[in-house]
Amino acid sequence: MHYTLIANGREHVLEVAGRGPLACRLDGESFEAEAVEVAAGVYSLLMGGKSYRAYVARPIGRENPPGRAAETFTVQVDGVSYSITVQDPRRWSGGRGMATREGRQQVTAPMPGKVIRVLAQEGEAVGSGQGLVVVEAMKMQNEIKSRAAGTVRKVLVREGQAVAGGEILMLIE
C-alpha cells in the first residue's frame, strides 16, 4: 500500500506490505519492520534489531476538519516529536500519480480565540516563519506563523472574528 505523508511541509511516500515482518519503503529506501501495538496508539517497532516505541495521537490544536482526505498525527519516538499528515490512499487513488507539492498548508487556529490581526493577504507570497494571523487566547496574543514558504491562496477570517480550535484561517500553496 502507498501512503503519502506530509511532514514539515514536505511530501514523503511510504509503501508498506506484508504479514509478520512488514516490508517498507520510505522515499525509495527499503527497510523491514516488525510492529506490535502494545497499547492503544503505542507501537513497538523492531527495525533491523533497533527498538523504537512510537506514541501516536491526534493532537488538538493541529487537527484537520473531519471529512478530509488527510489526517495529521503527532508521533513521539524516544523523546522526539513529529507532526505527520497521512493522506488517505483510497481517496487519493493510490497516491502514486500525485505530483509532490511543496508547502501546501492549511493554517488553523491552535485553540479557541479571537482574530486580532490578519498579517498576509490573498495572493501574497509568504516566507517560512512569516507571521500570518494574530489570535488572542488565554489572555495572550499569539502570532501564527507560516510553516513553509508559499502563496496565500485564501484568507478565511477577518479581524475581530471569534474562531474555534482547529478552524482553518488561511490556505497557503
Partner 1 sequence: MFSKVLVANRGEIAVRVMRACREMGIRTVAVYSEADRACLHVLKAEEAYPIGPAPAAESYLRIDKILETARKAGAEAIHPGYGFLSENAELARACEQAGIVFIGPSAEAMEKMGSKTSARRLAERAGVPLVPGTTRALASPEEAQRVAASVGYPVMVKAAAGGGGKGLRLVRSADEMPAAFRDARSEAENAFGDSDVYIEKYLEKPRHIEIQILGDRHGHVIHLGERECSIQRRHQKVMEESPSPLLDEAMRQRMGEAAVKLAREAGYYNAGTMEFLVDAQKNFYFLEMNTRLQVEHPVTEAVTGLDLVKMQILVAAGEPLPLRQEEIQLRGAALECRIYAEDPGNNFFPCPGRITALEAPAGPGVRDDSGVYAGWTVPVEYDPLLSKLIAWGADRQEALRRMRRALDEYYIGGIQTNLSFFRRILCDPDFLEGRLDTGLIDRLLATSPSEDSKQDGRWKAAALAAVLFAARQEGRVEAGSGGVSLPTRWGRDGREQLLRRLPLPRK
Q: Is 49 in the site for partner 1 (CB under 8 A)?
A: yes
Question: Residue 13 and residue 95: Cα distance in Å, rounded?
Answer: 9
For the chain, the distance separating the N- and C-terminal CA atoms, rounded to the nearest angstrom, is 27
Question: Residue 156 and residue 173: Cα distance in Å, rounded?
Answer: 14
Q: Is 136 in the site for partner 1 (CB under 8 A)?
A: no
Q: Is 102 in the site for partner 1 (CB under 8 A)?
A: no
* Collapsed DSSP state (helix, strand, coil) of residue 32: strand
Q: Which of 104, 117, 145, 154 binds partner 1 (CB under 8 A)?
A: 145
Q: Is 118 in the site for partner 1 (CB under 8 A)?
A: no
Give the per-residue contact string, 57-76, with partner 1 (x = CB under 8 A; - = no). xxxxxx--------x-xxxx
Q: Is 164 in the site for partner 1 (CB under 8 A)?
A: no
Q: Which of 68, 92, 98, 110 binds partner 1 (CB under 8 A)?
A: 110
Cα distances (Å, whole numbers) of residue 5 to 8, 11, 51, 134: 10, 6, 22, 28
Q: Is 78 in the site for partner 1 (CB under 8 A)?
A: yes
Q: Could you tell me how many residues of this chain bind partner 1 (CB under 8 A)?
A: 78
Residues 6+ apart with CB under 8 A from 167: 108, 109, 157
Q: Is 114 in the site for partner 1 (CB under 8 A)?
A: no
